[in-house]
């Protein structure tokens, strides 16, 4: 069995897999620095929102967080485990401050629909610090992506495992996997980027092609543009509807 086959098998059976050492240490440092600036800015602007501390639309908050959408290994795993046509549903962060949990510290799934034997969304977590038992490594229930309902809290914590891993690793999970961020019992904030991807025919949480600047979009390569939804835009006029095939806003052949 190849390493990729093993990863696929674990993704399908367990519902989550950690791929070690996908991101270079320098990149992780830069992502962390950008995220910390974004958290401080948001804290000034919107200190009282229900998910305070979570940065939304990270691709608009730093050039490395933007360029991450073109990362080749990330894109390859998304193609292999999900679909080459997937798009970003949401790109945000998950930080656990010292002695605290966060909005993700509740037992939850990242996709409300249960469709047996069908993956509609995939979750990505990019740890920017090591995930340890002490700093709140994510709890997950192996195989729970096959469950239509959330388990009771007691059952979840009795059987849950932890996503203990290192910064630079890549966590991929079926978005129906039941999971919960832990509580950080250390003195240092634990940061991560989280990306939820959906099928190309589904709606994104934000209208990224409209929300992003022209400059941000033009800095992206083919993969990044596809991920933000540039290949699934709706025509807003008959002129756009009748554009030649190579200029169409909603590219054909995407399942
Ligand atoms: O930060 C974590 O450990 C988990 C994040 C989470 O629950 C989520 O992204 O849905």
pLDDT per residue as tens digits for the range 114-152: 999 999 999 999 999 999 999 999 999 999 999 999 999
Which residues lie across from 125 on neighbouring strands? Answer: 171, 194
Identify whether the C-beta of residue 171 lies closer than 8 Å to the C-beta of residue 58: no
d(C-alpha 26, C-alpha 31), whole Å: 9
pLDDT per residue as tens digits for the range 207-241: 999 999 999 999 999 999 999 999 999 999 999 99
> What is the rounded average pLDDT of the residues 79-84?
98
Using CA atoms of 147, 105, 110, 169 in order, give the dihedral in degrees to the nearest 10. Answer: -100
CA of 249 to the centre of ligand 1 (A): 33
d(C-alpha 108, C-alpha 112), whole Å: 9
pLDDT per residue as tens digits for the range 182-199: 999 999 999 999 999 999
CA of 138 to the centre of ligand 1 (A): 7
Is the whole-model pTM more than 0.75?
Answer: yes
The predicted pLDDT at position 134 comes to 98
Q: How many CA atoms lie within 13 A of 96 on its CB side?
A: 28
Show the domains of the chain with their CATH numbers.
3-247 (2.60.120.620)
Q: What residues does ligand 1 touch, defined as CB less than 6 Å away?
A: 94, 104, 110, 138, 179, 181, 192, 194
Q: Which of 192, 193, 195, 196 to mutate to test the pocket of ligand 1 (most atoms within 8 A of CB)?
A: 192
d(C-alpha 100, C-alpha 182), whole Å: 9
Atom 2 (ligand 1): residue with closest C-alpha?
181
What DSSP designation does 245 have? G
């Amino acid at each position: 069995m190849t390493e990729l086959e093993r990863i696929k098998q674990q993704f399908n059976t367990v519902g989550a897999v950690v791929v070690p050492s996908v991101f270079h240490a320098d990149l992780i440092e830069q992502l962390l620095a950008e995220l910390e600036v974004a958290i401080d800015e948001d804290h000034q602007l919107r200190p009282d929102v229900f998910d305070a501390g979570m940065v939304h639309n990270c691709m608009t908050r730093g050039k490395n967080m933007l360029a991450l959408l073109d990362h080749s290994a990330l894109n390859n795993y998304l193609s292999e485990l999900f679909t080459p046509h997937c798009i970003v549903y949401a790109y945000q962060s998950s930080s656990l401050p010292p002695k605290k949990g966060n909005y993700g510290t509740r037992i939850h799934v990242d996709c409300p629909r249960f469709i047996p034997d069908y993956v509609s969304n995939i979750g990505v977590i990019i740890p920017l610090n090591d995930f340890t038992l002490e700093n709140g490594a994510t709890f997950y229930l192996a195989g729970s992506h096959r469950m239509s309902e959330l388990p009771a809290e007691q059952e979840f914590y009795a059987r849950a495992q932890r996503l203990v891993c290192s910064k630079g690793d890549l966590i991929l999970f079926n978005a129906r996997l039941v999971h919960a961020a832990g509580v950080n019992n250390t003195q240092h904030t634990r940061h991560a980027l989280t990306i939820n991807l959906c099928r190309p025919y589904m709606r994104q949480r934000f209208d990224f092609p409209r929300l992003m600047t022209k400059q941000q979009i033009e800095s992206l390569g083919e993969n990044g543009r596809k991920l933000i939804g540039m290949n699934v835009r709706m025509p807003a006029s008959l002129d756009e509807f009748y554009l030649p095939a190579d200029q169409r806003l909603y590219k054909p052949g995407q399942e």
